[in-house]
Structure 1
Amino acid sequence: MSKKKRSYMDSTYTWGNIFMVTAICVLVAVPVAICLKFNAWPTFKQVFDGLLKVIPIFWTSAILEIVVYAPMLGTGATYLSFVTGNITNLKLPCVLNSRELAKTKPGTEADEVISTIATATSSIVTTIILAVGVLALTPILPALTGEDSALKPAFDQVLPALFGALGAGYLAKHWRISFVPVIAAVIVLMFNGSLGTGTLIPICVVVSILAAYLMYISGFLTGGVKPENPLKRKK
């Protein structure tokens, strides 16, 4: 690895850590400020009981998301995404589309830069749209999304339509490695239809990686030619 690349990665980690610590301090400052304002502090038992209820679900999901999303997003994009949120809905699709358009090679410095720019742009645009939407649509939002609104069924299909449009291109282009995770998701949902996306996505990602690896070493992806096992070290 060249000195330039080491310097870039080092600076990314440094600023990423500073960014994460700053974000945590800002997030914690809000409840602390409220407690100071009203002089109402929770006891240690109340805090512990509250954490105990969310640890099995959210903390496990958080660890899995880091393992799953970090290799897909890249270093800089991972730091930004895990602070600004909406990884599955916005950040990851933006990163994947940006890489596709820029035709960058995974793992390169250019790929890292494109991913970081895409994530930052997505965050900025999302913030602007939300601000404008809150100011402009608040008076008429109940009429658009209310239970008795004729447009409510359309709003309920926005997310499926987004992922359908994004997924169709990948399914058509990489159909050999696409059908296994789709089948895995269908089977999992048949047994537990209420399973959350935070659990379903890591399962499908693990299945996808294992299936793609087995297909590769078996020659299914290379026209019957069995390549050398990439996990075996050369003597």
Structure 2
Amino acid sequence: MTTDTVQSPAYTTYDRTTSRWGRITMVLALVFSWGGPLYLILLSDLDLTQAQLWIGFAAVAASFGVIWFIEPVTYFPVLGPASMYQAFMIGNIANKLLPSAIVAQAAIGAKPGTRRAELAAVMAIGGAAVVHIVSLLLFVGLLGTWLVGLIPETVTEVARLYIFPAIIGAVIVQLAVYVKNVRITVVAFAVALVVQLVAVPMIGGLFASFGTAVTVAVTMVLAWVLRENPNRRKMTR
């Protein structure tokens, strides 16, 4: 049996420690994130009614609420429990941390869901966070205003329009290579095209806010139904 199938004492301690401190740091982050809004509501001169607060919450939930469920479900199989705490504390998961973890796991040949893959994701996310902080301090904190003044406005506009789609496109390609399953890749691509280019323009309204959730849900169902099943193959022989 491999180390990925045997629960070693060292890994048990590691899992227990990361889970304990992960929960503590996530709760602290939640408290601090509430600090600013609570100060504005309770101690400032803002005249906000309870109805206005609920309307604002409903507006945010309608736009981003689906992500609260999609992201944990879709990221966990790749990142593992320890890296999930890291990722949601740091942010920029889809366009920075997840690609870093995938590249690290692919570089050492770690299979998804194994302890080796989880440890690779932890190290990759730690490295990505360090690079991010150093680059922010250097290129934004120290040189940001100077660099922006040197870049032509036309270049800035092109970057604003195309950099984010380019990053997301690269992430999708990395995920397809990571999964190494042509059937799932084709199904996901076809469902995304139908939902985003056909269903959303035709239906519009509230459905547009849940287009991503519909795409993920339909892809998951079809991938499970169309999966390669050895028992089914035996029955057809």
- Within 5 Å, which residues of 2 pair with 1:78-117? 78-117=84-123
Q: Summarize deviations over 1:161-208 as a string: whole Å, max 9, x none.
A: 334445446656543321111111111111325899985554444344
Structure 2 residue corresponding to 1:158, chosen from 139, 160, 163: 163
Aligned to 1:52: 58
> Does residue 1:214 correspond to 2:217, yes or no?
no
Q: Determine the C-alpha separation between the residues in 2 that align with 1:75 and 1:227.
A: 36
Instruction: Using structure 1 for the length normalisation, give the TM-score.
Output: 0.74
User: 122-131 or 42-51: which moved more?
Assistant: 42-51
User: 18-27 or 47-56: which moved more?
Assistant: 47-56
> Does residue 1:72 correspond to 2:60, yes or no?
no
Q: Determine the C-alpha separation between the residues in 1 that align with 2:97 and 2:105.
A: 12
Aligned to 2:233: 226
Aligned to 1:2: 7
* Structure with greater proportional helix content: 2
The letter for the 1-side match of 2:34 is: V
Identity between Structure 1 and Structure 2 (%):
25
Q: Summarize deviations over 1:105-156 as a string: whole Å, max 9, x none.
A: 222222211112222222222222222222212234266373xx24532453
Instruction: Using structure 2 for the length normalisation, give the TM-score.
Output: 0.74
The letter for the 2-side match of 1:157 is: Y
Aligned to 2:148: 141
Structure 2 residue corresponding to 1:21, chosen from 19, 27, 44: 27
Q: Determine the C-alpha separation between the residues in 2 that align with 1:217 and 1:168.
A: 22
Structure 2: state its 5+ residue gaps: 1-5
The letter for the 1-side match of 2:162 is: Q
1:98/1:208 Cα in 2 relative to 1: closer, same or farther (>3 Å)? Answer: farther
Matched length: 222
1:118/1:144 Cα in 2 relative to 1: closer, same or farther (>3 Å)? Answer: same
Partners of 2:100 and 2:125 within 8 A in 1: yes
Query: Which of structures 1 and 2 has the larger relative contact order (alpha carbons within 8 angstroms, sep 6+)?
Result: 2
Partners of 1:65 and 1:202 within 8 A in 2: no
Aligned to 1:186: 193
Aligned to 1:231: none
Structure 1: state its 5+ residue gaps: 220-224, 229-235
1:81/1:50 Cα in 2 relative to 1: closer, same or farther (>3 Å)? Answer: same
Partners of 1:73 and 1:92 within 8 A in 2: yes
The Cα of 1:47 is off from its aligned counterpart by 3.2
